[in-house]
C-alpha cells in the first residue's frame, strides 16, 4: 500500500490532482482511492487530499493516514500546516517553493532531520509559465512521477492525455508541458 | 434515443458519480431535485447527462426537498421511472412525503448520501438521516463503497418496480467517505445495465386516460389499518425479490450481494455489526486482528436495512459469544437502533450472545482501523469473562471523560 | 324532479354500508378506479352516460344526511348557473346551460344554492325533507317589492 497526502488550498486542484493520479494508476491494474478533507471549504482554505494505491481492493475507509509521500502544492502551507503529521521514517516530501531546498529546510524546523527525503519544485511558477494560471496540481504530478519512480514519464504522459481527453487540445498540451517541466526540475 | 456513454472497463468514480451513472443507465424519466451537500453531484450530473443527450429525461428544479419528493410522487403516479437524491436536512424535510410515496406504492429510487442532522450544523457523514427513514415504508439498501453505490442503485430499480413489490427504494452511501472518495469501479456498459434494470412497467398510472384513477385517498379507522398492514406485508415479502435481484445481478457481474453480508464468520467468536463504509474498515481490522493476535472476529452487515433482515441476522450471529453493534447516529435517549434490532433478533435464539452498543463517528468523526481493533479486543474480553465487562452502551472516539450507560444483569 | 339524469347506479349505496374487507382484499396503494372498464373519452360523456365504479361517489348516496332540502322552481329560474357554480357537492344538474334540478342523492341540504339564487322570488327554497315537491311549489312566495 502506498499512501499519499496532498496539502493544498481549496481551488488549487489537489482533489483533481489526486483523482487524476487515481485515473492513471487504475489503468495499470492497481486499485486506488482518492479523497479529500474539505472543511466547509471556501476557495483558499487549507485542505488535504489523499491517495491510497494497492494491489488489492482498498477497504480501509479511515481518514487517518501515515503517508509515504507528502505533496505540498501551496508554498505557504509548508510553513503553516503540519506537513509532517503522522509521518514515517521513510516519508518523502515534495514541496512547491521558489526557494532553494537548503533555504527552505532551514526555515522549517520539522524538516531539518529529513533533508535527504525533501524535494523541492516550483509548481506555481511552472503552472504560470505553461498553463498560464496558478494551478500547481499538474506540475506536482510530474515531480511525483520522478521522485516515486512509479511510472516512466512517457507512460504517465500518455495515460494522462486520455484522462484529459475531454478538454481542448491546448489545455492538454500545456498540462503535458507542466508535468514534463516539473519532472525535469524537481530536486 | 439517448446517446451511448463511452465507459472504460475500470473507471475511477466516487460514490456520487457512480450513482449518477446508474440513474443515467436506468434512463430515469424524471428527477425532481433540490440539491444538498454531499449528494449534490448525483442530481447535478443527471442534469448534465440530460443536457448532453445521454438520457431521455426531465430534470425538474423545485423549491425545496418537500417539493422534490412531491414532484417525484406526482411523476411516479403519472407513470414514469423516477429518482432523486438528498441528504440530512433535505431528507428530514422530505420525511412527510416519503410516507406518501410508500403508501401509494410508487417505486421511486432515492439515493441518500448519509449526513448528520443539525443542530449543530454539520455536512459530514453519519447515519442520522438513514435512521430517520426507517419507519417510512421504503426499502433501504446500504452501499459500503462507490462500486456498491452503483450496483445497489441499479438493483434498486429492479427491486422496487417488481410487480409484487411496487415500493420505493432508498440507496444509502456515506457522505464524503463514500460519496467523495474515488475508487476503482467496474460499470456495466449502457445496454447491459438497461437490459438488467428492464423497461419500466407502469401500474395504475394516472396518465392512462382509459382508466382514470385516484391517488391519495383518505381512509379513517375503518380502512387505514388494513391498507398499512398490506403495505407492511409487501415490504416484508420483498425480501425474496431482493434475494432474486441480487442473484440476477451476480449472474450478470460476478459481484455477490446478500441481505446480510457476513465476513469471516465461519468460526467467529466475536462479531461486529455495522453499516456503511465502516463495514469495510472493520473487515480490515478483523483480518489484521486474526493474523496478529488470533482473535476469531468476524463482521456482519445488513446490506438491506429495511426490510430489516431479522431472519438473516439471527442466522449470521447464532453461534458467536459476543456481538457489538455500531450505531453512527445519536440515539436520542435510547440504545442505538442497530443494537435494538439485532438484540431483538437474537433474543429468540438458543445461544443469546452478549450484545453491546457503540455510538461512534457522529458528524463524520474518523473511525480508524486501530479503534476497530480496540473494540474487537474488548468484545473478546467480554467473551472470555462470560459477561459484559463494560457499560452496555459506550462511545467511540469521543473526547472527555468516559461515557457509558447501563451495566449487565447477566453476571 | 327526483331521478333527473340518473342511471340505475346513481345513489344506490348508503355511505358507510360498504363491505369492510380485510387487508388482503384492499386495493394496492389505496389507488381507486373511478370507472368500470375502458373510460377513454369519458370527459366528453354526460354523467348519466358514464360507467361509474362502486368507488365513485356517484354510486353512493348521502340523502339520509339531510333534514331540509332545496326545492327548485323552473317557472322563476333564469338559468344563470349561480347555484351550479356554488354547490359544494355538484348536486345541481344542468345541461347545455339549462338548469334541470337537484341531485337529491348527493345534496346534503346546505342551502348554499338558495343563498346565491338572484331571482325574486328565489327559484330555490329550502323545505322540510318530508314536504312533497308539489305542495312546496304551491306555497311558493310571490315577488317582493
The x, y and z cell numbers of residue A65, run together, are 493516514
Instruction: Looking at the complex, report in whole angstroms how far the Cα of residue B100 sits from the nearest Cα belonging to chain C.
Output: 10
Cβ–Cβ below 8 Å for A63 and B10: no
Contact by Cβ (8 Å): B330, B393: no
- Chain A residue closest in CA terms to B372: A62
Mutate to test the interface with B, among A59, A164, A165 (most CBs of B within 10 A): A59
Enclosing domain of residue B184: 11-253
pLDDT at residue A109 above 90? yes
Q: Which of B210, B223, B226 sits opposite C38 (nearest CB)?
A: B210
pLDDT at residue C109 above 80? yes
CA B95 vs CA A137, B132, B147, B180, B216: distances in Å: 42, 8, 27, 25, 16
Where a domain ends, among B215, B238, B253? B253
Query: What ipTM was estimated for this complex?
Result: 0.90
Q: What pLDDT does residue A156 have? A: 95
pLDDT at residue B182 above 70? yes
Return d(Cα C47, Cα C121) in angstroms, integer.
30
How many A-B residue pairs are in contact by the CB < 8 A criterion? 67
Chain C neighbours, 3+ Cβ pairs < 8 A: B
What pTM, to 2 d.p., does this model score? 0.94
Cβ–Cβ below 8 Å for B281 and A62: yes
Cβ–Cβ below 8 Å for C31 and B214: yes
Contact by Cβ (8 Å): A51, A18: yes
Are B167 and B294 contained in the same domain?
A: no
3-state secondary structure of C94: strand
Are B265 and B247 contained in the same domain?
A: no
Are B34 and B145 contained in the same domain?
A: yes
Among B7-21, B59-73, C50-64, the least confident range: C50-64
Contact by Cβ (8 Å): C114, C70: yes
Q: Which of B11, B183, B368 sits opposite A58 (nearest CB)?
A: B183
Are B59 and B204 contained in the same domain?
A: yes
Q: What pLDDT does residue C1 have? A: 41
pLDDT at residue A36 above 80? yes
Are B270 and B344 contained in the same domain?
A: yes
pLDDT at residue B60 above 60? yes
Q: Which residues of A touch B278 (CB under 8 A)?
A: 61
Cβ–Cβ below 8 Å for B283 and A36: no
pLDDT at residue C2 above 60? no
Return residues 239-268 of B near A (CB < 8 Å): none
Cβ–Cβ below 8 Å for C28 and B211: no
**C-alpha dihedral sign at A164, A166, A167, A169:** positive
Are B325 and B224 contained in the same domain?
A: no
Are B243 and B280 contained in the same domain?
A: no
Q: Which residues of C touch B213 (CB under 8 A)?
A: 31-34
Average pLDDT score over residue span B302-324: 97
Residue C3 or residue A155, greater confidence: A155
Instruction: Looking at the complex, report in whole angstroms how far the Cα of residue C73 sits from the nearest Cα belonging to chain B.
Output: 36
Contact by Cβ (8 Å): B371, B363: no
Q: Locate all alpha helices (DSSP H) within B202-352, ordered by sequence.
A: 224-253, 278-293, 310-317, 337-347
| Domain boundaries C13-138, CATH class | alpha beta
Enclosing domain of residue A108: 2-185
Query: B304 in a domain, yes or no?
Result: yes
Query: B2 in a domain, yes or no?
Result: no
* Closest CA relative to residue B108, chosen from B35, B171, B36, B55: B171
Are B221 and B277 contained in the same domain?
A: no
3-state secondary structure of B271: strand
Return d(Cα C30, Cα B220) in angstroms, integer.
12
Query: B233 in a domain, yes or no?
Result: yes
Domain count, chain B: 2
CATH code for position B154: 3.40.50.970
Virtual CA dihedral for B337, B339, B342, B345, nearest 10 degrees?
-90
B374's CB contacts (< 8 A; 6+ apart) are none
* Closest CA relative to residue B323, chosen from B353, B288, B351, B290: B353
pLDDT at residue A39 above 80? no
Query: B372 in a domain, yes or no?
Result: yes
Contact by Cβ (8 Å): B325, B316: no
Cβ–Cβ below 8 Å for C22 and B226: yes
B12 touching A (Cβ < 8 Å): yes
Return d(Cα C84, Cα C108) in angstroms, integer.
15
Half-sphere exposure of C23 (CA within 13 A, CB side): 12
Q: What is the pLDDT of residues B68-112, one digit of tens each?
A: 999 999 999 999 999 999 999 999 999 999 999 999 999 999 999
B212 touching C (Cβ < 8 Å): yes
Q: What pLDDT does residue A42 have? A: 80
Q: What is the pLDDT of residues B130-145, one digit of tens each?
A: 999 999 999 999 999 9
Average pLDDT score over residue span C75-80: 96
Cβ–Cβ below 8 Å for B278 and A61: yes
Share of chain B above pLDDT 70, in %: 100
* Mean pLDDT of chain A, nearest integer: 94
CATH code for position B284: 3.40.50.920
How many Cβ atoms are within 10 Å of C59's Cβ, its own excluded? 17
Are B242 and B270 contained in the same domain?
A: no
Domain count, chain A: 1
Are B89 and B147 contained in the same domain?
A: yes
pLDDT at residue B117 above 90? yes
Quickly count helices (H) and strands (E) in chain B: 12, 17
pLDDT band at residue C47, thresholds of 50, 70 and 90?
confident
3-state secondary structure of B79: coil
Contact by Cβ (8 Å): B337, B134: yes
Where a domain ends, among B203, B225, B253? B253
Are B235 and B134 contained in the same domain?
A: yes
Instruction: Looking at the complex, report in whole angstroms how far the Cα of residue B259 sits from the nearest Cα belonging to chain C.
Output: 25
Are B306 and B233 contained in the same domain?
A: no
Q: Which of B123, B177, B182 sits opposite A34 (nearest CB)?
A: B182
Amino acid at each position: 500500500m502506498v499512501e499519499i497526502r496532498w496539502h493544498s488550498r481549496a481551488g488549487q486542484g489537489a482533489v483533481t490532482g489526486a483523482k487524476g493520479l487515481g485515473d492513471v494508476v487504475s489503468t495499470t491494474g492497481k486499485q486506488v482511492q482518492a479523497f479529500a478533507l474539505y472543511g466547509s471549504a471556501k476557495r483558499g482554505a487549507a485542505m488535504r487530499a489523499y491517495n491510497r494505491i494497492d494491489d488489492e481492493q482498498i477497504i480501509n475507509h479511515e481518514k487517518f493516514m501515515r503517508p509515504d509521500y507528502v505533496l505540498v502544492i501551496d508554498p505557504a502551507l509548508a510553513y503553516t500546516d503540519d506537513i509532517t503529521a503522522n509521518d514515517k521514517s521513510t516519508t518523502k516530501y515534495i514541496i512547491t517553493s521558489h526557494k532553494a531546498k537548503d533555504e527552505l529546510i532551514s526555515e522549517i524546523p520539522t524538516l531539518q532531520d529529513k533533508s535527504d527525503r525533501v524535494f523541492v519544485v516550483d509548481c506555481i511558477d511552472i503552472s504560470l509559465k505553461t498553463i498560464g494560471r496558478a494551478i500547481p496540481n499538474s506540475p506536482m504530478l510530474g515531480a511525483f512521477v520522478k521522485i516515486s519512480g512509479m511510472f516512466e514519464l512517457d507512460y504517465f504522459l500518455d495515460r494522462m492525455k486520455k484522462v484529459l481527453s475531454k478538454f481542448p487540445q491546448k489545455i492538454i498540451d500545456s498540462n503535458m508541458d507542466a508535468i514534463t517541466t516539473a519532472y525535469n526540475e524537481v530536486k | 434515443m439517448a446517446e451511448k456513454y463511452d465507459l472504460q472497463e475500470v473507471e475511477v468514480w466516487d460514490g456520487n458519480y457512480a450513482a449518477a451513472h446508474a440513474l443515467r443507465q436506468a434512463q430515469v424519466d424524471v428527477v425532481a431535485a433540490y440539491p444538498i451537500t454531499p449528494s449534490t453531484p448525483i442530481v447535478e450530473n443527471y442534469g448534465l447527462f440530460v443536457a448532453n443527450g445521454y438520457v431521455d429525461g426531465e430534470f425538474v428544479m423545485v423549491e425545496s426537498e418537500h417539493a422534490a419528493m412531491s414532484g417525484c410522487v406526482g411523476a411516479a403516479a403519472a407513470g414514469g421511472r423516477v429518482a432523486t437524491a438528498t441528504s440530512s436536512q433535505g431528507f428530514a424535510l422530505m420525511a412527510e412525503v416519503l410516507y406518501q410515496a410508500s403508501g401509494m406504492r410508487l417505486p421511486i429510487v432515492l439515493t441518500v448520501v448519509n449526513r448528520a442532522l443539525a443542530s449543530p450544523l454539520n455536512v459530514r457523514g453519519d447515519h442520522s438521516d438513514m435512521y430517520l427513514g426507517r419507519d417510512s415504508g421504503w426499502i433501504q439498501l446500504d452501499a459500503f463503497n462507490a462500486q456498491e453505490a452503483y450496483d445497489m442503485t441499479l438493483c434498486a430499480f429492479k427491486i422496487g418496480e417488481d410487480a409484487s413489490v411496487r415500493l420505493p427504494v432508498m440507496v444509502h452511501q456515506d457522505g464524503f467517505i463514500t460519496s467523495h472518495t474515488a475508487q476503482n469501479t467496474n460499470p456495466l456498459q449502457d445496454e447491459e445495465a438497461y437490459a438488467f434494470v428492464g423497461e419500466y412497467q407502469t401500474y395504475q398510472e394516472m396518465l392512462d386516460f382509459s382508466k382514470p384513477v385516484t391517488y391519495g385517498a383518505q381512509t379513517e379507522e375503518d380502512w387505514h389499518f388494513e391498507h398499512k398492514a398490506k403495505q407492511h406485508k409487501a415490504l416484508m415479502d420483498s425480501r425474496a425479490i431482493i434475494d432474486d435481484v441480487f442473484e440476477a445481478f451476480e449472474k450478470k457481474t460476478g459481484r455477490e450481494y446478500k441481505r446480510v453480508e457476513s465476513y469471516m464468520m465461519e468460526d467467529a467468536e466475536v462479531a461486529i455489526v455495522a453499516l456503511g463504509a465502516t463495514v469495510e474498515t472493520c473487515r480490515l481490522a478483523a483480518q489484521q486482528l486474526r493474523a496478529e493476535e488470533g482473535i476469531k472476529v468476524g463482521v456482519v452487515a445488513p446490506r438491506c436495512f429495511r426490510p430489516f433482515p431479522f431472519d438473516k441476522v439471527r442466522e449470521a450471529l447464532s453461534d458467536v459469544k459476543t456481538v457489538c453493534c455500531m450505531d453512527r447516529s445519536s440515539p436520542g435517549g435510547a440504545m442505538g437502533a442497530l443494537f435494538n434490532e439485532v438484540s431483538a433478533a437474537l433474543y429468540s435464539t438458543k445461544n443469546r450472545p452478549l450484545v453491546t452498543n457503540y455510538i461512534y463517528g457522529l458528524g463524520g468523526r474518523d473511525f480508524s482501523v486501530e479503534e476497530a481493533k480496540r473494540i474487537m479486543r474488548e468484545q473478546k474480553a467480554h467473551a472470555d469473562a462470560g459477561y459484559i465487562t463494560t457499560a452496555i452502551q459506550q462511545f467511540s472516539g469521543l473526547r472527555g471523560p468516559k461515557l457509558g450507560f447501563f451495566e449487565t444483569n447477566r453476571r | 324532479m327526483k331521478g333527473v339524469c340518473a342511471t340505475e347506479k346513481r345513489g344506490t349505496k348508503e355511505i358507510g354500508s360498504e363491505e369492510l374487507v380485510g387487508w388482503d382484499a384492499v386495493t394496492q396503494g389505496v389507488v381507486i378506479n373511478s370507472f368500470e372498464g375502458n373510460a377513454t373519452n369519458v370527459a366528453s360523456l354526460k354523467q348519466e352516460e358514464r360507467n361509474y365504479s362502486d368507488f365513485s361517489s356517484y354510486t353512493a348516496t348521502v340523502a339520509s344526511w339531510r333534514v331540509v332540502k332545496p326545492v327548485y322552481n323552473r317557472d322563476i329560474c333564469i338559468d344563470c348557473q349561480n347555484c351550479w357554480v356554488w354547490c359544494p357537492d355538484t348536486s345541481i344538474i344542468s345541461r347545455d346551460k339549462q338548469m334541470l334540478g337537484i341531485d337529491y342523492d348527493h345534496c346534503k341540504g346546505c342551502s348554499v344554492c338558495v343563498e346565491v339564487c338572484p331571482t325574486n322570488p328565489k327559484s330555490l327554497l329550502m323545505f322540510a325533507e318530508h314536504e312533497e315537491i308539489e305542495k312546496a311549489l304551491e306555497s311558493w312566495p310571490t315577488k317582493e317589492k
